[in-house]
A and B are shown apart, each in its own frame.
Chain A
Amino acid sequence: RKEVEQDPGPFNVPEGATVAFNCTYSNSASQSFFWYRQDCRKEPKLLMSVYSSGNEDGRFTAQLNRASQYISLLIRDSKLSDSATYLCAVNRRGSQGNLIFGKGTKLSVKP
């Protein structure tokens, strides 16, 4: 099993749709989880951290499922501007401060 896995997509959705991505991880001892957004030819930008209790920021909700070892990102009321690649990141086994990134899930929101 790869350390961090994401469905590469693309997810093609209409404006206003709700879309969800999952990211599975292999290290059951992982403590830190993040979602980043990366626009084409740009750097990744932190979207949100993922806490055990889940967290919400406007239209975005992130959740952690430790039992099944995955994190999820839910986007409600999709906007054209949400089109991007979404990367998940998980802290690396035995190495504080290091993250392992998934390859990303591409989202395309259509009018």
Chain B
Amino acid sequence: DGGITQSPKYLFRKEGQNVTLSCEQNLNHDAMYWYRQDPGQGLRLIYYSQIVNDFQKGDIAEGYSVSREKKESFPLTVTSAQKNPTAFYLCASSSARDRRQETQYFGPGTRLLVL
């Protein structure tokens, strides 16, 4: 089955700890995105990548880091510098070859909680 997977489904972070959220897609999509969603809020863009080995900051990149070493994978690290990391994290991807090339498809998300 083609799709986007995220792991883990739930993640607990201790104070001062870095944690990494996984995002993998087998849709052969070029672009990948990370969003954060807080209760009752819309999606806010953290980082995005249009091509392997390149990525750009979104609206709320502070306290986060990413890498894009493979087309299929776009992991997000929530660093200790992110003071309010509790949120629902969503990964998405889109294809430059899709006629509606900006259509984004989402993974199931990871809920991050601070202990």
Contact = CB atoms under 8 A, between A and B. Distances in A.
A43 B106 contact: yes
Contacts of B104: 46, 89, 99
Nearest to B44: A101
Contacts, number: 53
A4 B59 CA distance: 15
A45 B103 CA distance: 11
Interface in B64-115: 88, 90, 94, 96, 100-109
B94 A104 contact: no
A97 interface: yes
B42 A87 contact: yes
A16 to B, nearest CB: 28
Interface in A4-53: 4, 8, 32, 34, 41-46, 49
B102 A46 contact: no
Q: How large is the interface on A (under 10, 10 to 19, 20 to 34, 35 or more residues)?
A: 20 to 34
Contacts of B106: 43-45
Contacts of A91: 102
B101 A44 contact: no
Given A44-B90, A87-B42, A103-B41, A96 B108 contact: no
Given A42-B109, A43-B108, A99 B102 contact: yes
Interface string A33-75: 0100000011111100100000000000000000000000000
B43 A87 contact: yes
B31 interface: yes
Most buried by B among A8, A42, A99, A104: A99
B42 A97 contact: no
Contact of B31 (A4, A87, A97): A97
Contacts of B107: 43
A34 B103 contact: yes
Given A87-B42, A97-B101, 4 more contacts: A98-B58, A101-B42, A101-B43, A102-B42
Interface of A: 4, 8, 32, 34, 41-46, 49, 87, 89, 91, 96-99, 101-104
